[in-house]
Structures are given as structure tokens and as C-alpha cells.
A and B are shown apart, each in its own frame.
Chain A
Amino acid sequence: MAEPLTRTPKGWDRLSPPSKVAITLHVNDVPRTLTIASWTTLLDALRNDLGLTGTKKGCDHGQCGACTVLVDGRRVNSCLVLAIMMNDARVTTVEGLAKDGALHPVQQAFIDHDAFQCGYCTPGQIMSAVALISEGRARNADEIRELMSGNICRCGAYPRIVAAIQQAMAAMESKP
């Protein structure tokens, strides 16, 4: 038998994945209790454990923004946070934006302006835009572009995304 190429110490028969911890996430206003391994990201918890696949994985390294969700109202890359750190947090995903069947103004504006093509970055763009508007920092197109630059759209819908955000911003200001 050939010498193994392994690096693990002799005598380790089994390697166990990290033990699981029970946490509660308030996802889209619904408390969800999960028993989850400590290495599971919030993104994977949403997609794999809760079946909320609206939140997308595009790089898993915080480089593309497709996984953007709101945690306690702030936008975060859910691939960069561990789910166990989010115990008791309020998490809003794209599935939680529409109320009683009516689209959120940002969602409607994205359709009106054709602010996407393949749709894969879209939930992240929309969540980022919702937070951007509530942050109140973007007052013009240049500031929107800058503050939306954490969300890559490879289809290149950027000018449409800016126009959609401007429409939604106006709509939300007139109806607070």
C-alpha cells in the first residue's frame, strides 16, 4: 500500500464537520429557527436551509453583490457573514419586498425601465437600491452610480438601474 499523501495526524479516524447551533432569524418578518453549522454563511442558510433562493450566489467572496440582503435595515453581502452571527437579526430578502401582492416601488421600477436582462443580479440590485433610498445619501445620478457600484450587472443594465432607482425614489418621496 502506497504511503498516503495525507497531512492529518495519525489516529484521527473521522473528521467531523463543526457542531450545529440553534439560531433564530426573523426573515421577512417571520421567525425561523435553524440548527446550523458554524461555517454556514447567511447566504447558504437562506438558499439551502430556508429555500429562499431569491438571494443569489455570484462569487461567494463579497465581490459581486448578488447576495445583498438587508440585516436590520442595512444592506450586507450575505456571503460574507456567518449565519450564527445573525441570531435574532431581522433579515429582509427579495421575497419579502412585495406586500399583499403589490410590488415594492423599486421592483416595479425595475420592470418599467427594463433594469435587468438575465435577472441573476437583480434581487441583489433591488435590495441594494431599497437600502440606498432609505440611506438618503444619493441625491443625483452620479451618487446613485457610485453607491450602487457594489452590485455588478454583467448584462450591463446600469443606466436602466439608475433610471429605475430615480423613478422609485420619486415615487417613495411622494408617498412616504
Chain B
Amino acid sequence: MTYIGTATSRVDGHAKVTGTATYAAEAKTTGLVHGSVVTSSIAKGRIVRIDVSDALRVDRVIDVLTHANRPPMADADSGYKDEVAPDGSPFRPLYDDRILFSGQPIALVVAEDPETAQFAASLVRVEYAEEPHVTEMYRRWDDAPALKAVAKPGENPFSPPKPRGNAKAALAAAAVRHQGDYYVPVEYHNPMELYGSTVTYESDGTLTVFDKTQGVQNVQCYLCGVFALAPERVQVLSPFTGGAFGSGLRPQYQVVLAALAALALKRSVRVVLTRQQMYGLGYRPAMIQRIELGAKGDGTLEAMTHDAITMTSQYEHFYRQETGWSGLLYQCPNATYAHRVAPLDLPTPCDMRAPSAATGVYALECAMDELAVALGLDPLELRQRCYSDRDQNTNRPYSSKNLHECYRQGAEAFGWEKRSPEPRSMRDGSELVGWGMATGVWEALQVPIAVRIALTANGHAEVSCATSDIGTGTYTIMAQVAADMLGVPLDQVTIRLGDSTLPQSPVEGGSWIAASVANGIATTSDAIRDELLGLAKQMPNSPLSDIAPGEVVLVDGKLMSARDPARAVSIADTMRHGGIDRIELEKTTRFPKDETHSHNTHSAIFAEVKVDEELGVIRVTRVVSTVAAGRILNTKTASSQILGGVVWGIGMALHEETLLDHTFGRVMNANIAEYHVPVNADIHDIDVIFVDEPDDSINRLGIKGLGEIGIVGVAAAVANAVYHATGKRVRDLPITLDKLLA
């Protein structure tokens, strides 16, 4: 293979560095008008009256749309259910007078220009009938309902694992025990691009929608449901997405408002949210966790309990496998899990980079570090003593698991053996130095996907699929795989994605697209090869006349015997002889369910912090992240993804926190100056290492995917390093200097 596995630069790089990559709020269209959103200032209640008279008196204002004058929308929940909607009644923007959360959209002011719309939106007055609200998870401590554990593996991937053994008795009998409560606050994705949609109202009444999303077909299907439109009346496009990290999995409300206004006014409409309004979208739910571990004196785990509380809205039941990761990772015969979900008067949470693992593994890996301290054992040594070759939840072996090698290579690159075990024992001038480590785990998922390829006699390939590239590098890996499978140069491959009219793809998320689309390209390429071979066999004196399709590859513009390169014919000649100038085929790839293995990616993270002893300022000076994630398609874009995940983990450990004012039920720091995310000065050396992890059984190309694994465990490694530096254990994130000095 020429391109797969190499450090290929992004094929869309030129567009991105020259400013020609077009994002949702930049789509060119004519006669465009602009919508500005008015949001609720209360968390719960009803709208008694919306007075739009002042807004309508502003020149260049076209209309103000509210629940009272909107065009028809679906009246059943089914109209609003998207591909990844949790159980419950999805939020309906501008549907009725009900207020479900602060920041809920309640009116859209449409004007000839965005400034006028924004000004007029400030003139909309609202009278509410307020009702008491609860936004604080601790106030639901006693009445948050518990989730039922799964009865058999795979039944509901998000339910707590089935208990095993007798954790209570084993804990009581354990030689060494540790118990800790860990807290992660609400976090917001904050992609750099503001949520926005540009809806062109075409002359025949159809809608062309440029949207910020991780799934164009999800949005297309959703809009058809909300407005009872025939599928052919809506096309959704998203050639570029300025970050999403899970926030674009479900359709967001601005696309509903833009489509609604376009239908009401028969005009083309753009709606862009403000950064502040984006704190009225989904978020990573806060999580309170209690972990108890019991071990023998030699460090082998005897018992584990993991109790968690997360939050959801009052209208949808959102949760993920928050406790499942601790169930899976380490050998432990006795374990119980409990997960309760607290309904609050907030928007429904949504998936955010490594949902449930980023938080659940944080708690587990801090608890393991604390257990190591209690045992007087090196934290890395403890992990190795508890190493499991089988998924502890299902008792299945892994299709591949090279975590051992992650530990070995990571420790070596970091210099872990030079660590002095005592806290506060390492210094650099006036700063305390701490070294911490953690394990990461995520699942290797794959989803059914369709890929169309058109290969022309002059050696050009166009590869189409309705997936997205949210910055992950999908354009590039698709081009690499297609070039290798079809035997054409990379610059002769054109990738089309982010268009709902293209072959079927689910949303891009969960790290499942790379494996899915790459194997999808391989499947369709095989079909192209077979058709070419059929033609080649009919050529006079064909060197391939008696060869089986599986023995033929496409290389350098030729159909060639994989065993004997001398037996080959050119693709151009084959097509010419067959009287065609192109072959275009679409195939769907499905991945058979493998009930005999678990499929996961793993990582080992080593972090160094330096802490100013007097001021409590923490710097993460060095991170080594070692990842086992099957075949790596592109070492350049893949390590960028892991690097980004590490930066997120540093933010989670030290910076990110949504502050809610529970009196108003509202986010107080709804901007990116006060909601802190890492900036360049916060980030120092990050070393990403991929270990070899051949996997013959997961899929044909041995790909596992790696968008999520990069963040998992990082916050724990940093927190453990802070403990090692200072001797102070801070269990509620973020670890800010006030907590450290308290």
C-alpha cells in the first residue's frame, strides 16, 4: 500500500489555510435575510405574552416569529426524533408557550441584515409565568432514579454492567481498601465555529440547507419530520464543519428556526447563534462518582463498586455507560455498579468527546492511583498486576489488545523508571514536580455505510459518501484508502461528502467513521475490480483469463495478479476494450456482529506537572500518550487527533467548568473568556506514540478508529501527577489553585 499508514498531509489543507473552505454560515446565496434568536431568561414556566411591536417598528425588520405565529410543525414526538435521540420527548423549538430551560429559543427576529436583526431582537419583551426550577444535581441526590443493570451482555450498551461475585463481602475481606468521591462539572464543547445554518428557499419551494452538523442525512430526515416535507424537498450540505466534538450529532435548534423562517417568509434565511446562546445547547453532563476498591496485599483487585449520578433534562432521558468502563478494564472478580440519573430544568445533555469514558475513567484511574499509594506500589505496576486479556463485563477476549506495549513504550519514552515514589520528592527550582499516569479505554465501533465510486478510463476516481469531516481528516483518509484500493495517485481522487443526497452514512461520531468508511471504500473498490476483471477476461490473450477475483489487485492504473506482477492489463485498455469510459458502482458495507470478542482501543498516558508551591499554579509540562488502536491510516492526522484529545484532557483537569447560578437556573460563564479552555501557553510538550496492534478479525483493514481515545485517562494522569507533586488529592475537577491551596 502506497498511502495507507503514511503521514499524508490533509487533502483539504489548501482550502483551510487560504480561507476558501466554506462553513455553514458562509454559503453563498441570493436574497438572503438574517434571523436573530431571542432566548428565555427563566428556566421553567410559560410565556404569558411576547410583545414584538417595538421590534417590528425597526426599519428593515421583516417579521418576528414566535410560537404564536409560526408555520405548522409536527405535533407528535416522532416528528422530532433524530437518529441519536435518547428516550423521551425531544425539544421543539418555537412549538408552544412552555419554557423548559433558560436559554431556550422563544422568538426569531428576521431582518434584511444581521445587525438590524440583532438590535431588534433586543427590543422583544416577554412576560412569563415562572415556575420553580431545579438545576443543581446535589438537590436530586435522594430522588434520582436508578438505571436497571443489564441482564445479559449487549442488551443495552448504556446500562450499568451486570454485577459479578459478591463485592460487599470481598471488600470487607480485602487487605487494602480505597474509597473516593470524584466530581466532574458540566462541560461545553465550544467548537470554534458558531452554530449556524443558511437555508436557501429555491424557486420551486425546496430547501437547500447548509448546516453545521456531524450528520447531513440526520438533519435532512429530521427537518422532513418537523415540517412534514417530502425527502426530495430538503437537501442538507456540510462540506466543512468548524469543530463539533459531539455537539453536532443531533440537529440543533438554529436549523429548525432557519428552515421555519424560510418556509414562513418564502425567503432564504441565515441564522447564526451567538457564543452565549451556544450554552443553551447540549453539554457533557456533570457526574458525581463514588468508587470503592479492595485489593490483596500484592495489588491484585478483589472487589470494586462504582456508583454514579449524572444529569438529564426533564423531557429526555440521556445517559451513557458511565460505570461500564470500570467494569471492563481490570481483572476483578467481585463488582457492582449503580448509575442514577437526575432530571433537571436544563437542556438535554449530549455526547461530548468520549462521552462517559472521559468522566468514568477519570474516576477509576484516580482511584487506582490512590489504591497504589495505599498499597505502597508503583501506579504502573498496579495496572500491570490487574491487567486483563478479557473484557471483564462480558468475559470475552479482545479482538486485539496491546495495552502492555502502551505501558512499556510510554514508560520508556517518559522515563518513568526515574520517578521517585514519594509525593513532594521531586523539584525543579522553586517548583514541585509530579509524575502521574493513567490508562485509557474506548470502544472500536463500526456502522453500516454506503460508498459510491466512479472510476474513469483516464484514471480519475470520485468517491462519494454522506459522511462528514468535522476536522478529523475524513477527506484525507478516504482519499488515501481509495488511491490504494483503486491503484491511482492520491491527486487523482476526488472525495465528496457532507451532502445528504450522497450514499447513506450515519452521523460521524463515536470514532466509528474511519473504520466504516475505509472498509466501505474497500468493498466498493472490490466491486469495481470485479467488473474490470470481467471485461479484462474477454480481451484477446488476456493474461488474467483464468484468475480468481480475489487474486487480482488494482495497482498503478493496472489490473494485476497479486502474485505475479507480470500478469497485468491497464485499466484504460480494459475499459476501452469493453466499450466504456467509466465504471460507477455503489455498495453498502455491513459489519457482522462478532459475539465472540470485545473490540476496544486502549492507551497509556504519562504526565508531568510543575506546581508553584506558593501560588498553586499548575503547568502540564510533558505528556506522553501511547495508543493501541489497530491500523493507523494516517500517522499525521491520527496523531493530531490524539494530541487534540490530550489538550482536551488537560482542559478537563485544570480549566473547564460551567458555572450555574441555581437561583436563576442559568449558566453564568456563557462565553469563552470565563469558560476556560486551554490556550497555546497552557500546552507544552505532547508526545503521541502509536503501538503496533494488528487486528485480523475486527474488519478487513484492521481499523479501530481514534477520535475519542485521545482524551480518555488524560485528566486522571494530570490529577495523579498533581498529587505526586504536592501530596494533595483534589478529586473535584477542575483542579484550580484555590482547591490546591485550600
Contact = CB atoms under 8 A, between A and B. Distances in A.
B125 A53 contact: no
Nearest to A57: B194
Contact of A119 (B12, B51, B123, B194): B12
B530 interface: no
Interface string B188-213: 01111110000000000000000000
B192 A118 contact: yes
A169 interface: no
B23 to A, nearest CB: 7
Contact of A152 (B17, B22, B192, B272): B192
B363 to A, nearest CB: 23
Interface of B: 9-10, 12-23, 25-26, 28, 49, 51, 53-54, 57-60, 113-116, 119, 123, 125-127, 189-194, 240-245, 272, 274-275, 470-473, 636-637, 640-641, 643-648, 671-673, 677-681, 683-686
Nearest to A165: B680
Contacts of A122: 16-17
Contacts of B25: 57
Given A114-B636, A118-B242, A48 B113 contact: yes
Given A5-B127, A117-B641, A110 B17 contact: yes
Output the residue of A60, A107, A154 with the most chain B CB within 10 A.
A154
A8 B57 contact: yes
Contacts of B242: 56, 118-120
A61 B194 contact: no
26 contacts: A6-B51, A13-B57, A16-B58, A16-B59, A17-B119, A48-B114, A54-B20, A55-B19, A57-B272, A58-B193, A61-B673, A63-B673, A114-B13, A116-B13, A116-B17, A117-B637, A119-B12, A149-B679, A152-B679, A153-B680, A154-B190, A154-B243, A156-B646, A158-B679, A158-B680, A159-B685
A161 B686 CA distance: 13
Given A58-B193, A145-B681, A159-B683, A8 B640 contact: no
A156 B194 contact: no
Given A56-B193, A60-B274, A152-B672, A158 B678 contact: yes
Nearest to A141: B684
A55 B26 CA distance: 10
Output the residue of A15, A97, A111 with the most chain B CB within 10 A.
A15
Given A40-B115, A118-B241, A120-B191, A159 B125 contact: no
Nearest to A126: B17
Contacts of A57: 25, 194, 272
B513 to A, nearest CB: 14
Given A17-B115, A118-B192, A156 B127 contact: no
A63 B676 CA distance: 11
B683 A158 contact: yes
A133 B19 CA distance: 20
Given A7-B125, A114-B636, A152-B672, 11 more contacts: A7-B54, A13-B57, A39-B119, A47-B26, A48-B114, A53-B22, A56-B23, A60-B274, A66-B192, A120-B243, A161-B680
